[in-house]
Structure 1
């Protein structure tokens, strides 16, 4: 048995998704003639109560476009020190937007208005101009921790008061919505822009959608073109995203249940120092100091279970739609024997 817990990006399209992809009606999306892409953009924009959407090849590109479209060179972006836009997007904020970054240390990656406010720069020529706050939901480095609408509203009011834009890296937003039971449209009223990744928990092979105002998306479309993200008959990919939205959102509860089962199993093991609270589909745990993480990963892989090193002494498991209950039981049993 092979159990791939490295990431929820490793999923393969389901038979139903493949069928939808093959049946897609396509055109040239750069010429705005791909009706399946348009359908996907309109569906998500309506779902989140936003004016327009833009289909992008990746979540990284969607985030970087959002930052570029809402900042000027020499501006400053506020985000958590563990955020994906800072850690895992190749220094894109500096390269693409010529903006600096103010890094804050939130609660497992989650910021608050009280934490942010003292770090907003005054309007002074000696300082970079704070112009954008970026939140991530769920937080990858936070072990799948998530914001609720109640958490975000004070940050929204602060951003309005200080005339700042607010962007959501919604890489796993539907995982957060599933747990918090919040409505997508509540997010649309709080954020200037939102990116939604389709290729993680939702199981599409590729793609993200950036949403915002009509004017912002018009500007974003130009930035996407400059970055080489203008795709042609992209409807085959967009069809996978549509299928995922229609069939794979409710089942995210299964991934969260599977993650909790693994988390509970880990807490009983003597070689585990600490397990982060398991709230969605990500499990991050720290091995005791005398356990070599590379050896642990190798031993797990020799038994058919793939996982990722995630910092000093830390390991990450991620559940997803290709992981079955039998695989979860198998993993829990192997963990008891691996050391």
Structure 2
């Protein structure tokens, strides 16, 4: 019988703390669609301040945040957005920008560090005066930190260069900042400076920050005014949303300072994995709270089988490919949980453990 659970599937699995639950129960609320919810207003003002932007708006999810942002910047159907081939918007948001907004994606190869070559981005920009056959480029999207390449961070210098390129060609820059607080913490850069070049940023509050629900989009006042209308159009407007925003305010205060510890625990786990025969992990790729590790060829183990064995011992991770597994650390994972996980993975490569797990 499993008596312990270590949930490393994602940092979205965190549970509200008692302080969050208290804040939710006592939240001052009103109708946010009418623009009167005071707690939502407090959260939006605070997030705009942190990000160094004029205004902000709360949305139910990061997917909606990115969708709304792209559609605001690409108001004309048939517009084109340049984004990485491994970006979350391109891979994991159900093609929403195309299905709902009629926006065409033009992908550029993501490098192992999550960047795209500046020259390749510029080469992908269409010239509307000379090109009658292709969509019109209106937007460039970055992701920071970049989940699919292991939570690596995009530097402020690189972001500034992409911002300069966007302005040179009259384009906008959006950052999918689902884990921007992780990136800022890892890089040691203030968040407002990290996103200074961006015209908009979508920030998830239910990942490493640990709130139960929600994301915030930040940008100019005119951008947010358009975003608010689009949010309503696609069903993202909510009434007494202050109940959720109250938890997010607590999360900003309580959990952002804990992100450095999450990163430290991720490196502790990755270092332990690197010393287990049958496991391969690139230590240089572990920049924040996300770890990708591989089952070595010839080990008589697959990623799926290892995940099944670990689940029988209360450890939850996600197989990504036939040989790859992802683990994500968060503030509700302890160092003891990390050591327990390493012990179980070590034993998983011993025949008697595998037999007992059947």
Confirm whether residue 282 of structure 1 aligns to residue 290 of structure 2. Answer: yes
Q: Which residue of 2 aligns with 1:91?
A: 95
Shift of 1:160: 0.4
Partners of 2:204 and 2:119 in 1: CA distance? 29
TM-score using structure 1 length: 0.97
Partners of 1:256 and 1:185 in 2: CA distance? 21
CA contact (8 A) 1:112 1:151 kept: no
Q: Which residue of 2 aligns with 1:152?
A: 159
1:41 aligns with one of 39, 44, 57: 44
Q: Which residue of 2 aligns with 1:270?
A: 277
Runs of 4+ in 1 over 3 A off after TM superposition: 273-276
**After superposition, what is the alpha-carbon deviation per residue over 1:105-162, rounded to whole angstroms, capped at 9, x for unaligned?**
1223322423311111222111111111111111111101011211211111000001
Q: For residue 30 of structure 1, give the secondary structure of its aligned residue in structure 2.
A: coil
Q: Which residue of 1 aligns with 2:328?
A: 318
Confirm whether residue 169 of structure 1 aligns to residue 185 of structure 2. Answer: no
Q: For residue 149 of structure 2, give the secondary structure of its aligned residue in structure 1.
A: coil
Which of these two proteins has the greater Rg computed from alpha carbons? Answer: 2
Shift of 1:104: 1.4
TM-score using structure 2 length: 0.92
CA contact (8 A) 2:184 2:194 kept: no
Alignment: residue pair count: 339
**After superposition, what is the alpha-carbon deviation per residue over 1:19-75, rounded to whole angstroms, capped at 9, x for unaligned?**
111121000000001000000000010111111101000000010000010002111
Shift of 1:188: 4.5
Q: Which residue of 2 aligns with 1:301?
A: 311
Q: For residue 209 of structure 1, give the secondary structure of its aligned residue in structure 2.
A: strand
Q: For residue 294 of structure 2, give the secondary structure of its aligned residue in structure 1.
A: strand
Q: Which residue of 2 aligns with 1:7?
A: 10
Return 16-25 or 51-60, whichever deviates more: 16-25
Partners of 2:282 and 2:10 in 1: CA distance? 18
Q: Which residue of 2 aligns with 1:122?
A: 127
Q: Which residue of 2 aligns with 1:111?
A: 116
Shift of 1:164: 0.7
**After superposition, what is the alpha-carbon deviation per residue over 1:213-238, rounded to whole angstroms, capped at 9, x for unaligned?**
11111111111001100000000100
Gaps in structure 1 of 5+ consecutive residues:
none
Partners of 2:78 and 2:233 in 1: CA distance? 20
Supply the RMSD in Å over aligned alpha carbons.
1.2
Q: For residue 9 of structure 1, give the secondary structure of its aligned residue in structure 2.
A: helix
Q: For residue 31 of structure 1, give the secondary structure of its aligned residue in structure 2.
A: coil
Q: Which residue of 1 aligns with 2:355?
A: none
Q: For residue 145 of structure 1, give the secondary structure of its aligned residue in structure 2.
A: coil
